[in-house]
Amino acid sequence: MISRATSGEVEFVPMSEGDLDWVVARERELHAFPWTRGNFADSLAAGYSCWLMKAGGQAVGYAVMMLVLDEAHLLDISIDREAQGRGHGAALLGHLRAEARRHGATQFFLEVRPSNAAALSLYRSNGFEHVGRRRDYYPAADGREDAIVMRCAL
Ligand SMILES: CC(C)(COP(=O)(O)OP(=O)(O)OC[C@H]1O[C@@H](n2cnc3c(N)ncnc32)[C@H](O)[C@@H]1OP(=O)(O)O)[C@@H](O)C(=O)NCCC(=O)NCCS
């Protein structure tokens, strides 16, 4: 599946085991509490919607989404630090929304740390609204951090 974006040719490719070295290395750089290789392998084995995003032939990001009946749940979306701030996050989220709709989902949910300004901005400007809060949901350097729950109609 290939689409055009301002930064050149962008491609969304189903993630496979062979991508996991790159994905796990980026995950460790980008997240204070990263998913393990096993988490990604389990997501692939479970048939979750797992994507690699390429721009100009180079991997720039990845995402994992779970589809359950008419709901989509975003589990991970990450853009390589070098490639951030160029609209790739928004393009990847747009691809996930299209995939979710294609599978019959009517609602898209996600959790985000209140401290994650970039992700909050990405989600807000792409139609997600704050619908709840899960207390002490995430591990944090000084204990636990709440999750903001966001929802978007598809
Ligand atoms: C969140 C993330 C995916 C955004 O990717 P990106 O390619 O930089 O996003 P875009 O360039 O499409 O920008 C999307 C919006 O975020 C905003 N943004 C990007 N970086 C930001 C920052 N550091 N602080 C505040 N806002 C920021 C942009 O201004 C843009 O807002 P707008 O749509 O209102 O103009 C990326 O920062 C990332 O991978 N972070 C680490 C992993 C992570 O936290 N993932 C989310 C939780 S799983």
Tens place of pLDDT per residue across the chain (154 aa): 544 444 468 999 999 999 999 999 999 999 999 999 999 999 999 999 999 999 999 999 999 999 999 999 999 999 999 999 999 999 999 999 999 999 999 999 999 999 999 999 999 999 999 999 999 999 888 899 999 999 999 9
Distance 106 CA to ligand 1 centre (A): 24
d(CA 100, CA 9): 22
Fold of 2-110: Aminopeptidase (3.40.630)
| Distance of alpha carbon 57 from alpha carbon 3, whole angstroms | 13
111 is known as an active-site residue:
yes
Is the CB of 16 inside a 6 Å radius of any atom of ligand 1?
A: no
Q: Is 30 in the pocket of ligand 1 (CB under 6 A)?
A: yes
> What DSSP assignment string belongs to 14-72?
E--GGGHHHHHHHHHHH-SSPPPHHHHHHHHHTT-EEEEEEETTEEEEEEEEEEETTEE
- pLDDT, position 141: 87
What's the pTM? Answer: 0.94
Which class for 110: exposed (0-12), middle (13-18), buried (19 or more C-beta within 10 A)?
Answer: buried
Phi, psi of 6 (to 5 degrees): -60, -30
- The catalytic residue among 27, 62, 123, 145 is 123
83 CA to middle of ligand 1, Å?
Answer: 10
E strand or H helix at 128, and its extent? Answer: none
Question: What is the predicted pLDDT for the residue at 5?
Answer: 42
The H or E element containing residue 80 is none
Residue appearing with tokens 């599946």: 1
pLDDT of residue 7: 47
Nearest CA residue ID for atom 26, ligand 1:
118
State residue 12's pLDDT score: 98
